Structure 1
Amino acid sequence: MNFKEQIYSVVDIETTGNKMSGNRITEICIVRLLGDQVLEKYTTLVDPETLIPDFITGLTGIDNEMVATAPLFAEVAEEIERMTRDSIFVAHNVNFDYNIIRNEFKRLGYDFKRKKLCTVRLSRELIPGMNSYSLGKLCNSLGISLNNRHRAEGDTDATVILFKKLLEIDLDGTAFTNFLKGSNKEGTFPPHLDRAQFHDLPEVPGVYLFKNQARKVIYVGKAINLRKRVLSHFYSKTSKSYLMCQEIHYIEHIPTGNELVALLQEADLIKEYYPKFNSAQKKPRKAYQILHYKNQIGVVQFAVGLVKSYDYSVVTHYDRAHAVEQLEQLCADFNLCPRYCSFKTPEDCTQHYKLQKCKGVCKKKELVSLYNIRANQAIKALHNQNPNYIIKQKGRTTEESCFVMIKDGEYQGYGFVDQYTSISSIEDCEDFIDRKAANYHTNQIIRSYLKKYGEQNVVYEIAQIA
């Protein structure tokens, strides 16, 4: 194919938002080219049939009054189809413009399909090493005049000049051919990201952090293969991935050596940074424990209580119903009084719908001291249900190993040691552990790991807490 004799349609649109779905067009400009020769231009405002948000008006200058008398998309669809017919659809961040136009045609019952070229991806390939590949900064670096920024015609005119430069650089059409055939495997890179940061990513398990221009963390993810996982974000066509990629300026990564620690560190970092694009794990979950204390008459009283801080050392449940079930079982196993386990009962506690083995401490038929012996046995059993153990994992190199510590059934943190250091108990781990706060998500991660892998890498502490 002779790319200098090919017809191109260089397109830019303005919309009611910045997502790839659900947006409506407010303005469109199309320049039809034969190679590097302009054949014709078409530009028009479009009535989006919905209100334009204030922040969009602030960006583009297009307000609701301006589009009130503009044609509907249905009225200009035929002209848009004609201007792009038998041509290659070209735009800066082409998927955004192409998908929104295609969705507009879908509303009319028409399947709009065109071959696509992205000037961001072409620029990365043909003009490497630029600080940014956003249209404004790229044009400024290349000396391309960009007037009337964030209006369809101004952006299209600048993209046309950029596209002509790319045609001149790609003398044999290799880059154009690769991108049209989809044989380029580097995806749609974020326009502000230095490609070297991606190439520095190792193909190992770990955690990665996407940061914006102010170096604020906007997304945290875990990966078995850091490079492949990060690249998958760039290939994704979802609105979330597109919007996130527009804000990425920096990538940081933390090798972990194994998936379990990657999952745990991801949960910890999401809690620390509360990133904009992490929807999961951001909502706090309440934690519950079985409390025990001596009441005013000296009886050991039990209750299910809310843990007010995830830093509490003995968290037993993240579901209140599960904590209640455990207390019911404890009450039944040790013949405890339902009333002193904080369960609602009739006047005669043996009439509880489920627990009917009270020996009468609540009616002074049993000595408090005898009752408390069983209560303390229940407390001991409760602690023994929360064992101490470590989970051994691979280290970040062949010369080290990793452990995850659980104490009293609660996640404590993880650590890395060299291959010559013996780790076989909780005490051995104390000098190496990087302590972390437990929460609902770390609890679920440990439970899921044990359910999947069993106890093949688990080393239990022999001595349990009394």
Structure 2
Amino acid sequence: MYAILDIETTGGKYNEEGITEIAIYKFDGEKVVDQFISLVNPEQPIQPFVVNLTGINNEMLRNAPKFYEVAKRIVEITTDCVLVAHNAKFDYRILRTEFRRLGYEFERESLCTVELSKKLIPGLQSYSLGKLVRALGIPLSDRHRAAGDAQATVKLFKMLLNKDVEKNILKTHIRKEPKRSLDTKLVHILEELPSSTGVYYFHDENGEIIYVGKAKNIRKRINQHFTNENAKSREMQKKVASVSFENTGNELLALLKENQEIKELKPKYNRALKRDIFSHALYHFKDDNGYINLKIGKASRTKKSITTFSTLRSAKNSLQAWIEEYELCSRLGGVHNGSGNCFNYTIKSCHGACIEEEPAEAYNERVEKLITRYSYENQNMILIGRGRDIDEKCAILIEDGEFKGSGYFNLNYQINNLDIIKSIITPMRNNRDAQHIIQSYLRKKHHFKIVQLSVHE
């Protein structure tokens, strides 16, 4: 659990500043579960330049609670939490100073989003909160007011968690969580899990990830792990100390993240990916008469294919449907062998390419449409789907025919700005399995919108 906060102060000499406003959002890694926002009477005048910056003046704070009146609430909302702030060193110092004046030693683990941003989003011109969130397309209102800055920091931290592909933030946090007894451990873990779509991680008592999975319903799937009686499940039940998860908002991104995490993290209880998750592919070639032929074959890393399939049956079923949809020749489409006219010609669904009655140019035009639709080679596009929240969208970037990564955005204008798109995208590995996942998913009924980008010169 995290306590994401922002503090406004009076300004003045070091360690003599007073708090004028505080905002704390308790964040579970996915959503805000509690919040505390209040003006605070610092019992000292505010520096004029601070008044101009924040708009908070002495008159506004005359009837505000003094720090000792809100101290208990601050302790409660931050208990068992890691403090997160933009320039955390400053906010943490101010809080500790105020508590020391009351004779109380306030101690919490802390994370700084300035330092995390420099590590996870390198190369930006400025890491001030205002310029950083503007560069990332994160909405920011009430700048230099505690609630507005803290809300922006929540959105920034959520993006940083997503960009932390090595899961260092997560693993460090879990290592510091209090350990539960084995008897009640699994029940407590299940109580805290959502019913959303995403990726989940099993951690051992040292915080190390020992298993990665994906699910449409995380809680339901993990309950199956915890109630399964096979040897592997029973061993994992003993080893798992905690479960973390990442809500992806949609199944496609969950599939892609699971594929990458298993390859990158190599968890102990995941089967090694010794073979590709696809077995067959659709290829094309031109015959001596200039017609494009289609052919299903074993998937090969050395041959370029239109698209890939998990099984031979799915390949044949898809090809048969496409031949009907695009009114192609069943013989040139690789469904039937032989010579002369194909069966589809006899039922008037083939225009006669098999007997050179239809010109190659006209026939190939329809085949090219099929190839363009089901292969994203050399294409530049963004797949836009459901995000983690109602007002959020997911973006998956394909550039020059390569899967580049994914990210989330709230505002429509962001998707029209390629620089902002690239800044919100968390890079992911482009491999044949990822390509297969995307292509096979898009062949099914899906809710993704495809936005074509201009082709690079």
Shorter chain as normaliser: what TM range?
A: 0.3 to 0.5
TM-score with structure 2 setting the length: 0.41
TM-score with structure 1 setting the length: 0.40
